[in-house]
Amino acid sequence: MSTNLESMPPETRKLLGADIGHAIYKSVSNPENELVRDATFSMPESDVFLKQFMAWMHVHIGQVEGRCFVDSAPVLERDWARRSGLGWIGKNTLLIHPKKGSYYFLAEIILDVEFDYDGPIKDYCGTCTKCIDACPTDAIPEEGYVVDGSKCISYFTIELKENIPTEFKGKFDDWVFGCDVCQDVCPWNRFSKSHNEPLFNPHPELLSMSKKDWVEITEETFRKVFKKSAVKRTKFSGLKRNIDFLKD
């Protein structure tokens, strides 16, 4: 899918967008692993695929200048994806593909090639309010299409540097990094499929960790298991804070 980025310099304002893979593990190998849930713990080298495609364009199209992004820079990837027809922005504020749901990485190549541009598709959320009703902390207002960051579990467990507000004690549903409740209940994710890309797999020790292993995790284990994971964003101290917050 492609769109024209009119606000960027003319020589590099065309965008090729794609959705890559399915990053969610719907099951874990250890039934005691209550803290993993469906969160994403792998951070694959997704831009490898984009760079391979750039190489393909060099062979089949000619010299092409561009830059690849997969959650790697502050680009408006969700809106660009909407504008290029990859999906619509749902009431949970996520991009929903009508045949794939929302479990994927958004990827972009900004380059200097002209395209026949695609356009947006319609919003198919309709009267559904499942994501609004299911949010453990009421972070999505009644009208939807907005997430209140001051109530969002993903914000608390990933971005927040201070202590988690005590009024949310008991509302985290065992999430220690991020939250997918508003995706899990979305009817469109019945069309999502698990990936078959080894690069997307988490560290093998992760899925065998018991609840006791999580509670007693050391910084050495953290560095080993999450070496190529987005969990590094919260750092060891942040993950320990999140785990401790779930304790009774």
28-60 per-position pLDDT tens digit:
344 455 455 444 455 555 667 778 888 888 888
- Give the model confidence (pLDDT) of 221-234 as tens digits: 999 988 878 888 89
Integer angstrom CA distances of residue 49 from 2, 27, 113, 127, 244: 17, 26, 19, 37, 38
User: Residue 116: which pLDDT band, with cuts at 50, 70 and 90?
Assistant: confident
Integer angstrom CA distances of residue 113 from 12, 98, 238: 8, 28, 43
Nearby residues of 54 by Cβ (< 8 Å), 6 or more positions away: 64, 66, 68, 109, 111
Question: Does 154 or 25 have the greater pLDDT score?
Answer: 154
71 is catalytic: yes
pLDDT at 206 over 70: yes
Give the containing element (helix H, strand E) for 15: strand 14-20
Q: Is residue 95 a contact partner of residue 102, using CB atoms and an 8 Å limit?
A: yes
Q: Is residue 110 a contact partner of residue 8, using CB atoms and an 8 Å limit?
A: yes
Q: Note the pLDDT of residue 94.
A: 96
Q: Note the pLDDT of residue 47.
A: 67
CA dihedral of 160, 76, 104, 232, whole degrees rounded to 10? -30
Helix (H, G, I), strand (E, B) or coil at 235: helix
Percent of the residues in the chain that have a pLDDT greater than 70, as a whole number: 81
- Give the model confidence (pLDDT) of 66-107 as tens digits: 888 887 778 888 998 899 899 999 999 999 999 999 988 888
Q: Which of 41-50, 112-121, 151-160 has the highest mean pLDDT?
A: 151-160
Q: Specify the pTM.
A: 0.82
Q: Which of 71, 118, 123, 184 is catalytic?
A: 71
Sign of CA dihedral 132, 137, 138, 144: negative
pLDDT at 26 over 50: no
Q: What's the rounded mean pLDDT across residues 159-164? A: 95
Mean pLDDT of the chain: 82
User: Residue 248: which pLDDT band, with cuts at 50, 70 and 90?
Assistant: low
Q: Note the pLDDT of residue 136.
A: 96
Rounded to whole angstroms, the Cα distance separating 93 from 18 reads 18
Rounded to whole angstroms, the Cα distance separating 219 from 189 reads 35
